[in-house]
Amino acid sequence: MSEPLLKVSNLAVSIRGDEGVARVLDRVDLEIPRGRIVGVVGESGCGKSTLIKAILGVLPPRAEIEAGEILFEGRDLAHASPQVLAREVRGSAIGFIPQDPLLALNPVFRVGTQMLETMRWHAPPQWKGRHRERLVELLGAVQVPDPEKALDRYPHEFSGGQRQRLLIAAALSCQPRLLIADEPTTALDVTTQQQVLKLLRDLVAEFGLSMLFVTHDFGVVAQLCDDVSVIYAGQTVEAAPTRRLIDEAAHPYARMLLACHPDRATELGGIPGSVPSPYVPPTGCRFHPRCPIAVAECTSRRPDLQRPSGDHSIACPRHHLTLPEAAA
Amino acid sequence: MLLFLIRRLLLAIPALFGLMVLTFVLVRVVPADPAATLAGETASRQQIEEIRKKYGFDRPLYEQFGIYVGQVVSGDLGNSVFSNRPVAADVRRTLPATIELIFSALLLATLLGIPLGTLAAVRHNGVLDHTVRIATVGGLAVASFWFAIMLQLLFSMELEWLPLRGRIGVNIGAPANVTGFFLIDSLLAGRWDQFVSSLRHIALPAITLAVPALATIARFARAGVLDTLQRDFVQYETAVGYPHRRIVWIYVLRNSVIAAVTQIGLLFGALVSSAVAVEAIFDWPGLGSYAVQAILASDYKAVLAVTLVVGVIYALINILVDLVHGLLDPRVAEQL
């Protein structure tokens, strides 16, 4: 197997806050092979957006990467200089699609001005003078009606779905190798969501990209992603190709999360308890306070990622046990 | 846009009418008897009564007001009860000097205040931020008449760099009148010496007026930028590779100055009133000096005219502020 485009290993990030040091990411492992769409799933507050910020090098000033590496095309972004990240990664090698397109767009500038700003600094030099042309082409590809005029309009003049299409085009503008999407469909209504997902899927195939897709919604993952990685409270708990994970989820958290999905839930259950505070994370496996099959050992030792098969990894030594009926 | 302008101009009329009622009543309820003042100290009772009749002071106040409004609407601000010259001519002569002074002060305050406030916000809680915050409190607290005299002592008396008073060198003379602004007229006339002299004369009064305005603008710019830096689009713009400087100085600033523009508009009003004292100190031949003379002489026609003119300017500035808002924010423009 060839080297993955992005390989995050053993990443730990802490943020100094008013209440002390928050260990937001404790041990995150993630691989994005070339040409694939990888979903990262977890509840709110489990560290998904911190992971994205770490990859893009836009962590808040009080955050620190304590351990691990982020290998992108063989280069470690976790220890790259801010200049390199600004000049050669963000906007150029990695395109970013935000969660809420209305909040992400600057309300007082034309969308064309905003999209051209990224191109001005990150487009290949031979495109000089043809940036606008390229944007018009891309807006056509993301199916924004009347691209020429659209560039001269302001963000508030578009619908939510149109704005998201604009930002997808913006992310693609400088021919990135990787797209990072931060729950890009949560702010949209269901029908628009479907269109945007299909569009993303088609574009990734058409441009030969790889994509990291962060979401809390297993339904979206099932439709879109080739592989999926489940994280809980800053720890990767399970990773596998999407089909396999949905059919054979092994980690108790992944199994319970899947059971919460409306298609599967027999009754409204949910997972008891809530995501722990990163200031005082549980010791050992961070999921143990909510886990129905936890034993004393789980509270003291952080479980390693095991690989029962080449493309499936699980961070739970007890994953072969059945969950009690009430939990699953 | 045009509709907005018309609507706003119509709305200004009742406001200005209210201003006229208020100033007219205030000027006339003060104990000074205009007829007696006009007649002079040695006048007999009969002479005073004659003057009272001649000028209509014996009629009921509302009648006098009605006549006054009629005159103003037809563009006649009346004659000075003192010099008997038309007040409108005096206003035309003195107003440009005041506007030139206030605009220079505002320009100075804006050009320095916005970058200073922005820098303070970017280096939030840094040395520069604390310096700016302390300095702006000082700038707001200092009394302008005291500051003006200190500037005169230092730059005019001690260092002899800048002239003490006046608007232009006496032996240079005023430039040919086109706009009434010496800085512009001298350039239009191609007279470099007049321009330099005007600039040297306007420097100290403009700085005096600019200091408190600069403090206000810097504080508002700082607060605005700090606020805007928290917005989601800043994160997005960073994540998609905008250079940091351009995010701050273009994309954030444009959002932040919107609030500052309102402040600059309000400052205009405050500056008009400070200008009265500053003009007196620097012997600046503007509307403020004229107003002081008029008040001291109980020249009520002139006082009314000055108040009305300032009111009109204030109303126009407010409309201008709204138009600038529209230019800066497309969502506002849609509502204009």
Give pLDDT, residue B41.
73
Distance from CA of B241 to the nearest CA of A (A): 5
Q: Is residue B119 part of a domain?
A: yes
Give pLDDT, residue B4.
82
Q: How far apart (Å, rounded) are the C-alpha atoms in residues A97 and B123?
A: 29
**Could you read off the pLDDT of B284-297 as tens digits, one per residue?**
999 999 998 888 88
**Could you read off the pLDDT of B13-27 as tens digits, one per residue?**
898 899 888 888 887
Residue A103 DSSP one-character state: H
Could you tell me if B121 and B67 lie in one domain? Answer: no
Q: What is the mean pLDDT of residues A43-50?
A: 86
Highest mean pLDDT: which of A41-50, A238-247, B32-41, B268-277? A238-247
Q: Report the candidate in A96, A95, A10 with the shortest Cα–Cα distance to residue A49.
A: A96
Cβ-nearest to B233 among A56, A106, A154: A106
Residue A328 has pLDDT above 50, yes or no: no
Q: Is residue B1 part of a domain?
A: no
Residue B331 has pLDDT above 90, yes or no: no
Contacts of B235 in chain A (CB under 8 A): 58, 98, 104
| Closest CA in chain B for residue A102 | B233
Q: Which residue has the tokens 């000049």?
A: A87
Q: What is the mean pLDDT of residues A203-223?
A: 92
Q: Is B233 within 8 Å of A104 when comparing Cβ atoms?
A: yes
Q: What is the mean pLDDT of residues A138-147?
A: 93
Q: Is residue A146 part of a domain?
A: yes
Residue B254 has pLDDT above 60, yes or no: yes
Q: Is residue A160 part of a domain?
A: yes
Interface test with A, best of B124, B230, B236, B331 (most A CBs within 10 A): B236
Q: What is the mean pLDDT of residues B150-177?
A: 88
Handedness of CA A76, A40, A220, A144 (dihedral sign): negative
Q: Is B242 within 8 Å of A95 when comparing Cβ atoms?
A: no
Q: Report the candidate in A72, A97, A79 with the shortest Cα–Cα distance to residue A3.
A: A72
Q: Let me know if A199 is exposed, middle or buried by CB neighbors in 10 A (0-12, 13-18, 19+).
A: middle
Per-residue burial over A110-146, b = 16 or more CB atoms within 10 Å of its CB, e = otherwise: bbbebbbbbbbbbbeeeeeeebeebbbebbebbebee
Q: Is A98 within 8 Å of B237 when comparing Cβ atoms?
A: no
Whether residue A269 contacts residue A328, with contact meaning beta carbons closer than 8 Å, is answered with no
Could you tell me if B62 and B111 lie in one domain? Answer: no
Q: Is residue B36 part of a domain?
A: yes
Q: Is residue B249 within 8 angstroms of chain A, CB to CB?
A: no
Q: How far apart (Å, rounded) are the C-alpha atoms in residues B310 and B273?
A: 9
Could you tell me if B63 and B196 lie in one domain? Answer: no
Could you tell me if B247 and B327 lie in one domain? Answer: yes
Distance from CA of B325 to the nearest CA of A (A): 11
Residue B36 has pLDDT above 80, yes or no: no
Please tell me the total count of domains within chain B. Answer: 2
Q: Is A108 within 8 Å of B242 when comparing Cβ atoms?
A: no
More confident call, A310 vs B120: B120
End-to-end CA distance of chain B: 5
Residue A147 has pLDDT above 90, yes or no: yes
Residue A156 has pLDDT above 90, yes or no: yes
**Could you read off the pLDDT of B40-72 as tens digits, one per residue?**
777 788 888 888 887 777 888 888 888 888 888
Local confidence band at B5 (pLDDT 50, 70, 90 cut-offs)? confident
Could you tell me if B143 and B22 lie in one domain? Answer: no
Residue A327 has pLDDT above 70, yes or no: no
A314 forms bridges with which residues in the sheet?
A: A238, A306
Distance from CA of B248 to the nearest CA of A (A): 12
- CATH code, domain carrying B315: 1.10.3720.10
Range of the domain at A148: 105-175
Q: Is A108 within 8 Å of B231 when comparing Cβ atoms?
A: no
3-state secondary structure chain B: CHHHHHHHHHHHHHHHHHHHHHHHHHHHHCCCCHHHHHHCCCCCHHHHHHHHHHCCCCCCHHHHHHHHHHHHHCCCCCECCCCCCEHHHHHHHHHHHHHHHHHHHHHHHHHHHHHHHHHHHHCCCCHHHHHHHHHHHHHHHCCHHHHHHHHHHHHHHHCCCCCCCCCCCCCCCCCCCCCCCHHHHHHHCCCHHHHHHHHHHHHHHHHHHHHHHHHHHHHHHHHHHHHHHCCHHHHHHHHCCCCHHHHHHHHHHHHHHHHHHHHHHHHHHHHHHHHHHHHHHHCCCCHHHHHHHHHHCCCHHHHHHHHHHHHHHHHHHHHHHHHHHHHHCHHHHCCC
Q: Is residue A18 part of a domain?
A: no
Contacts of B237 in chain A (CB under 8 A): 106, 114, 117
Q: Mean pLDDT across chain A, nearest whole number?
A: 90
Q: Which residues of A touch B (CB under 8 A)?
A: 56, 58, 86, 90-92, 95-96, 98, 100, 103-109, 114, 117-118, 121-122, 154, 156, 170-171, 174
Q: How far apart (Å, rounded) are the C-alpha atoms in residues B158 and B174?
A: 27
Whether residue A239 contacts residue A212, with contact meaning beta carbons closer than 8 Å, is answered with no
Q: Is residue B206 part of a domain?
A: yes
Range of the domain at B67: 18-73
Cβ-nearest to A58 among B232, B238, B254: B238
Could you tell me if B22 and B143 lie in one domain? Answer: no
Could you tell me if B236 and B307 lie in one domain? Answer: yes
Q: What is the mean pLDDT of residues A92-104?
A: 93
The token duo for B39 is 């007649």
Q: How far apart (Å, rounded) are the C-alpha atoms in residues A83 and A296?
A: 47
ipTM comes to: 0.90
Give pLDDT, residue A326.
53
The token duo for B284 is 């600046």
Could you tell me if B65 and B160 lie in one domain? Answer: no
Three-state DSSP state, A321: coil
Q: How far apart (Å, rounded) are the C-alpha atoms in residues A29 and A231?
A: 9
Q: Is residue B12 part of a domain?
A: no
Last residue of a domain, one of B43, B73, B103: B73
Contacts of B246 in chain A (CB under 8 A): 117
Last residue of a domain, one of B47, B73, B99: B73
Read out DSSP for A120-179? HHHS-GGGTT-HHHHHHHHHHHTT-SSHHHHHTS-GGGS-HHHHHHHHHHHHHTT--SEE
Contacts of B328 in chain A (CB under 8 A): 108
Residue B165 has pLDDT above 80, yes or no: yes
**Could you read off the pLDDT of B209-221 as tens digits, one per residue?**
999 999 999 999 9
Could you tell me if B67 and B120 lie in one domain? Answer: no
Please tell me the total count of domains within chain A. Answer: 1
Q: How far apart (Å, rounded) are the C-alpha atoms in residues A293 and A327?
A: 10
Whether residue B85 contacts residue B68, with contact meaning beta carbons closer than 8 Å, is answered with no
| Sequence-distant (≥ 6) Cβ neighbours of residue A191 within 8 angstroms | none
Q: Is residue B2 part of a domain?
A: no
**Could you read off the pLDDT of A253-305 as tens digits, one per residue?**
999 888 887 766 556 667 888 888 888 889 989 999 998 888 888 998 888 88
Whether residue A203 contacts residue A168, with contact meaning beta carbons closer than 8 Å, is answered with yes
Contacts of B233 in chain A (CB under 8 A): 103-107
Q: Is residue B190 within 8 angstroms of chain A, CB to CB?
A: no
Give pLDDT, residue A112.
95
Q: Is B239 within 8 Å of A58 when comparing Cβ atoms?
A: yes
Q: Is residue B216 part of a domain?
A: yes
Could you tell me if B144 and B286 lie in one domain? Answer: yes
Q: How far apart (Å, rounded) are the C-alpha atoms in residues B192 and B306?
A: 33
Q: What is the mean pLDDT of residues A22-43?
A: 93
Distance from CA of A82 to the nearest CA of B (A): 11
Q: Is residue B245 within 8 angstroms of chain A, CB to CB?
A: no
Q: What is the mean pLDDT of residues A223-229?
A: 95
Q: Is residue A207 part of a domain?
A: no
Could you tell me if B42 and B112 lie in one domain? Answer: no
Q: Mean pLDDT across chain B, nearest whole number?
A: 88
Q: Is residue A36 part of a domain?
A: no
A9 forms bridges with which residues in the sheet?
A: A69
Amino acid at A268: L
Q: How far apart (Å, rounded) are the C-alpha atoms in residues B304 and B297?
A: 13
**Could you read off the pLDDT of B271-328 as tens digits, one per residue?**
988 898 899 999 999 999 999 888 888 788 888 889 899 899 888 998 888 888 888 8
Give pLDDT, residue A44.
80
Could you tell me if B33 and B102 lie in one domain? Answer: no
Q: Is residue B13 part of a domain?
A: no
Distance from CA of B270 to the nearest CA of A (A): 29
